[in-house]
Amino acid sequence: MEGDIVSSLRDIIAPERMFVEEPMKKHTTFRVGGNADLLIRPASVAEIEKGIQCCQELAVPYYIIGNGSNLLVGDGGIRGVVIQIGSDFSKIEVGDDDTVWVQAGCMLSKAAHVAMEHGLSGMEFASGIPGTIGGAVVMNAGAYEGEMKDIIDCVTLLSHDGEVLILPQDQMEFGYRESIVSKQNYIVLEVKLKLHKGKPEAIAEKMKELNDARQKKQPLEFPSAGSTFKRPEGYFAGKLIMDTGLAGYRIGDAQVSEKHCGFVINRGKATAREIVTLMNEITKRVEEKFQVVLEPEVRKMGDFSESRKKETLPEQAE
Ligand SMILES: Cc1cc2nc3c(=O)[nH]c(=O)nc-3n(C[C@H](O)[C@H](O)[C@H](O)COP(=O)(O)OP(=O)(O)OC[C@H]3O[C@@H](n4cnc5c(N)ncnc54)[C@H](O)[C@@H]3O)c2cc1C
């Protein structure tokens, strides 16, 4: 990687928040992915803005990640700069009108916990989703009849030409596991949640009940990126995969979970190639048997070619 970008970013980002040749398996819940040329963790809006400007000026590609819980990074890693919006950018401020301002890098579990402590209900459904609030807005993450779109008042975004804008919920184009963010290449900076009053004990009990259900049904003992495929209209991906006879089906260390067939899990040393091959095989067999085409929910990022090539790859696949 060009030394230029590293030295330019050193003027903006503290050395302890810059990582050269960083293994992406450390930053994805799948525990898969080759090295990123450089990973940075900005701690303020100004650092995010300047970091992006720097990449643009030097024509270096950059990619935004949160907790990496919906990502499959290629074995060849990522050419360019990964900007991780995580715990260094995760302040929470509770308003006096049932609203909560949360910076994009805050984990959903933490935001849900703070809301509970302030007697604010509405985030219970999201408390067990292992991602950041920024990633959850991008994905319109949802579970147990709730979706991010139900609790968002407005979102502060950074456009790629450096403009900061605040979009109200009805302009966020929320759909099933999608929003305007990826379509416009925005970066989520902050989210204003609109919750409602509730009793902390009742909120805590609901969160426990939903998290117990996750423990029971999902293979949380293995690395994964959650549901590998989106729910096709009128079906459940996990049931289709199970009824195709693929429970436990394995390619290398990538396996269809026997506990929940909607999850591809990493049994230990799975490669991105093994996971992609398994996903393709699942898609093919389910289509042959049920004429239903499964669409990935997991997003691919980086280099999926056989050998690591020092070249810029297309934008992440959606
Ligand atoms: C065990 C397990 C269970 C899960 N259960 C659920 C579930 O019940 N419901 C559900 O919806 N999902 C679930 N997921 C998937 C995942 O947790 C969610 O999609 C989560 O919202 C992703 O957040 P993240 O911070 O990890 O985002 P990442 O995976 O890091 O990124 C996801 C996408 O968002 C983009 N992105 C991230 N942050 C920003 C930002 N600040 N600005 C702009 N773009 C950004 C990335 O470029 C990428 O395109 C599960 C995953 C696991 C591992």
Tell me: do 83 and 101 sit in the same domain.
no
Residue 70 located in a structural domain: yes
Please check whether residues 176 and 118 belong to one and the same domain: yes
Joined together, the tokens standing for residue 3 give 């030394």
The reply to whether 121 belongs to the active site is: no
Q: Is the residue at 308 inside a domain?
A: no
94, 200: one domain: yes
Q: Which atom of ligand 1 is nearest to the CA of 148?
A: 11
Ligand 1 proximity of 51 Cβ (cutoff 6 Å): no
Range of the structural domain that residue 104 is part of: 90-204
* pLDDT attached to residue 1: 58
Residue with tokens 């980086």: 302
Any domain includes 42: yes
**Which residues are within 8 A (CB) of 103 and not within 5 positions of it... i.e. 6 or more apart?**
89, 90, 91, 92, 133, 189, 190
Read off the CATH number of the domain in which 144 is found.
Answer: 3.30.465.10
Which residue among 49, 179, 297, 299 is the active-site one? 297
Nearest CA to ligand 1 atom 46: 65
Q: What is the DSSP letter of 258?
A: S
Please state the length of the chain: 318
Question: Which one is catalytic: 31, 79, 177, 273?
Answer: 177
Q: Measure 239 CA to ligand 1 centroid, in angstroms.
A: 23
Residues 198 and 239 in one domain: no
| Predicted pLDDT at 318 | 36
Domain co-membership, 184 together with 131: yes
Say whether 227 is catalytic: yes
Q: Are residues 122 and 158 in the same domain?
A: yes
Are 70 and 133 in a shared domain? no
State the 10-residue block means of pLDDT for the chain, 318 residues long: 83 96 98 98 95 95 98 98 96 95 98 98 97 98 96 96 96 97 96 97 98 97 98 97 98 98 98 98 98 98 74 43
Domain assignment present for 280: yes
Q: What is the pLDDT of residue 75?
A: 98
pTM of the model: 0.94
Residue having the nearest C-alpha atom to atom 8 of ligand 1: 143
Query: Domain containing 63 — which CATH number?
Result: 3.30.43.10
213, part of any domain:
no
Residues 48 and 13 in one domain: yes
Q: According to the model, what pLDDT value does residue 306 have?
A: 65
Nearest to 252 by CA among 268, 239, 241, 235: 268
Whether residue 95 sits in one domain with residue 199: yes
For the Cβ of 265 lying below 6 angstroms from any atom of ligand 1, the answer is: no
Could you say which of 87, 102, 118 is where a domain stops? 87
Do 73 and 99 belong together in one domain? no
Q: Domain with 264 in it: what CATH number?
A: 3.90.78.10
- Select from 176, 204, 232 the last residue of a domain: 204
Q: Are residues 99 and 194 in the same domain?
A: yes
- Looking at the structure of the chain, the number of domains it has is 3
108 lines ligand 1 (CB under 6 A): no
Pair 81, 115 in one domain: no
CB 167 within 8 A of CB 180: yes
The pLDDT of residue 96 is 86
177 carries an active-site annotation: yes
